[in-house]
Amino acid sequence: MAINYEQLKNWRFEERTDHYGVRDSIIYALTLGYGDDPSDIDDLRYVYEHDTLAVPTLLATVGAPGAWATNPELGIDWVKLLHGEHRITFHAPVPAEASVISRTRVTHVVDKGAGKGALVVTTRDIFNAEGLTPLATVEHVSFLRADGGFGQGDEPLPALPATPAAAPEATLMVRSTPQSAALYRLNGDLNPIHILPGMAAKAGFDRPILHGLCTYGMAARALVKHYCPVNPERLRSFSVRFSSPVFPGETLRVEAWKTGGQVQFRALAHERNVVVLSHGVAGIGEAA
């Protein structure tokens, strides 16, 4: 069954209201490795229950529409679907506790051609339920490897910038642990390829892999710590392409190039020297 452009483009998502508390913010930070150095006072601001700071990429875990692409009405070969890119623009500081309203829609369906797959972009607008203040816009790019060639589609999102050729301005190391994938599941992504060896093998991996959004959050942690450690509200946007999986226990090596208010970056699985996040770009605003 081939995908239908009009049906996919006009797919309706239910509006969601979710509440997260300080405990959820702390758990999210812990799953990214915050608190691994008990003497790091800056990092403790994210895992201590008084005057808690939220890691802004927490909103990547809140209000997502779930496994909607598995609906058989859409005709998507979802087993071959990959998370291609993830982009967040922040409109206001992310609170450590809030009720939020999420509104998701399909904004782009891109036909790359027969045998080349398709791209689908879902855009999620997140509002603080108190006053409907915009908090963030999330663009989730899915790569449908088996669904190209339907003959109609949209233009893709503007391309993310390629990695600079110069030596990086900063090289930042963030450690995962063998338990990182099991812990990250506490944020709500229960895909079994991240915990069951048998399911990981069916997906083509010799062991469970780390969630892509955990790698994403770890890279954000590295850049926030380097450029604005106790002012996470200065992170105005964070976008990246997923290039290769990370295995729990590996170290993430984040290489960064800063120009004005923009930081380009990539991340590698340090022990294997394999690029796992590419075309990264983060917007860093001035301190208030």
Closest by CA position to 83, among listed 6, 141, 44: 141
- Give the helix ranges, DSSP H, for the chain: 5-9, 22-31, 41-44, 180-184, 197-202, 212-227
Catalytic entry in 18, 125, 154, 189: 189
1 Cβ contact list (under 8 Å, min separation 6): 72, 75
Residue 36 burial (10 A CB sphere; 0-12, 13-18, 19+): middle
How are beta strands 251-259 and 262-269 bridged, if at all?
antiparallel
Catalytic entry in 33, 63, 153, 212: 212
Q: Among this protein's residues, is 24 annotated catalytic?
A: no
Catalytic entry in 209, 279, 280, 284: 209
Catalytic entry in 194, 211, 279, 284: 194
Which helix or strand (DSSP H or E) is residue 282 part of?
strand 274-284
The radius of gyration computed from the CA coordinates of the chain, to the nearest angstrom, equals 19
Q: How many CB atoms lie within 10 A of CB 157?
A: 17
Q: Among this protein's residues, is 153 annotated catalytic?
A: no
Q: Among this protein's residues, is 76 annotated catalytic?
A: no
Q: How many CB atoms lie within 10 A of CB 15?
A: 9
Q: Among this protein's residues, is 209 annotated catalytic?
A: yes
- On whether the CB atoms of residues 38 and 65 are closer than 8 A, the answer is no
Q: Catalytic residue numbers?
A: 189, 194, 209, 212
